[in-house]
A = this chain, B = another copy of it.
Amino acid sequence: MSDLLERLRGRGWRMTAQRRVVAEVLDGDHVHLTADEVHARAVAKLPEISRATVYNTLGELVTLGEVLEVATDKRAKRYDPNAHRPHHHLVCAQCGAIRDVHPTGNPMADLPDSERFGFTVSDVEVTYRGVCPNCAAA
């Protein structure tokens, strides 16, 4: 994670306590927090941090490509720090749990030119939906 901070500093980011805290909160695998959850965890480490700052910082991390925005179909966007390794998502339709997955195959190659409508296609996002073991047991 400290390499993230390094990279950010290298990009001319002014390092502030708030940004450091947000970066620390977004650490680990299978982490997919909403902005509010990030805020809640950040407040635990730095009580004065404001919601607006969390949104700003997340937005910057996304435009820098260090964090991915994941729009499952729940209301709130989620933020995924695992941006350095391409992956897709498996979402529980009941509880909303999210896992990172790595399907075989290359969906990019599966879209014939005739189906591109003149678009310059740059990215694919695959979302598997199902029911997680916890919810299936309940």
Contact = CB atoms under 8 A, between A and B. Distances in A.
Contacts of A122: 93, 129-131
A71 B103 CA distance: 21
B121 A128 contact: yes
For the complex of A and B, 8 pairs with smallest distance between CB atoms: A105-B110, A121-B130, A118-B133, A103-B110, A119-B130, A123-B129, A101-B115, A71-B73
Q: Size range of the interface on A? A: 35 or more
In the complex this chain forms, how many copies of it are found? 2
B71 A121 contact: no
B120 A130 contact: yes
A36 B55 CA distance: 26
Given A69-B73, A124-B126, A126-B124, A131 B107 contact: no
A125 B133 contact: no
